[in-house]
Structure 1
Amino acid sequence: MHVSFEEAQIITAAAILKAQEIDTQMCIAVLDSGASLKAFVRMNNAWVGSIDIAIKKAKTACLFAMPTGQIGQLSQPAGPLYGIEHSNEGLITFPGGLPIVNSDGILIGAIGVSGSSVENDHIVALAGVDSVGLADVPEHPWRT
């Protein structure tokens, strides 16, 4: 099951609205459950460098069904996932990427947001996810 085109539009619209509310310019990527790009938006004046970061945040959240900030905590030196950011042709392990889970608890995709502080990136990503689903996935063996 994948996030639909219509859901991807709702997600990006909600994320854009939140970015405007907090007065920031973002790159917003929505991927389906196969980690393929479903929708992408680069707001006016959003950093070009944030394009790749947003996509990789979404990819990271999708491939591991975890928020990127949580993976970042687990990937610190001596952590169980240390070095994971070097896998899968590059991952991003700081906040701003969230899995998109439907009401049945099934991963249907992910969102990645980049363009401001990681706190703002997370806030905007959460607004996108909240518009169609839940950010929490069933219990994961690496969760702390």
Structure 2
Amino acid sequence: MNTKPMLSVNDVQAVLDAARRHAEQNKWPVTIAVADDGGHLLGLVRLDGAAPLSAHIAPAKARSAALGRRESKGFEDIINQGRYAFLSAPLEGMLEGGVPIVHEGHVVGAVGVSGVKSDEDAQIARAGIAALQA
């Protein structure tokens, strides 16, 4: 039988805390979501001032990155390059800001962030993930 690494509740909290610190240092009102490798929500924090819609978009970005095993920006790029049929894929959140969490070559989950510019969302997600490699 195969075994695989997975996120613990402490891992999820570490990611949320680090991502939150990064967002607050930059005064970015965002929602941060962490999902497992199946895209299921494990944790979410909506910072003061974050738009209500961001609480829907952040988990969708995390789910897309987890299930797709790639940054959600990749899906956005595919669509923007004219492959509009990809819009029929069974995913939401195909926008930049979802970043997979990779451990020992396995995608163990993902972080999705929504609320500021897409590249800033991704930056916050990466800051959260970096807490696991520290």
Q: Please, what TM-score do these two structures have when normalized by structure 2?
A: 0.89
Number of the residue aligned with 1:49:
53
Select the residue among 84, 87, 90 that pairs with 2:89. Answer: 87
Deviation, structure 1 residue 78:
3.4
Tell whether 2:104 aligns with 1:98: no
CA contact (8 A) 2:78 2:86 kept: no
Deviation, structure 1 residue 45:
1.5
**Matched ranges for 1:1-144 at <5 A:** 1-79=5-83, 82-88=84-90, 90-102=91-103, 104-133=104-133
In structure 2, C-alpha distance between the alignment counterparts of 1:17 and 1:64, rounded to whole Å: 27
**What SS is found at the alignment partner of 2:96?**
coil
Q: Which amino acid aligns with 2:89?
A: S
In structure 1, C-alpha distance between the alignment counterparts of 2:24 and 2:81, rounded to whole Å: 36
Identical pairs, percent: 29
Count of matched residue positions in the alignment of Structure 1 and Structure 2: 129
Number of the residue aligned with 1:140:
none
Q: Which amino acid aligns with 2:106?
A: I
Q: 1:17 to 1:72 in 2, by over 3 A?
A: same
Q: Please, what TM-score do these two structures have when normalized by structure 1?
A: 0.83
Provide structure 2 residue ranges, at least 5 long, that are not aligned to the other structure: none
**RMSD over aligned Cα atoms:** 1.4
Deviation, structure 1 residue 77:
4.9
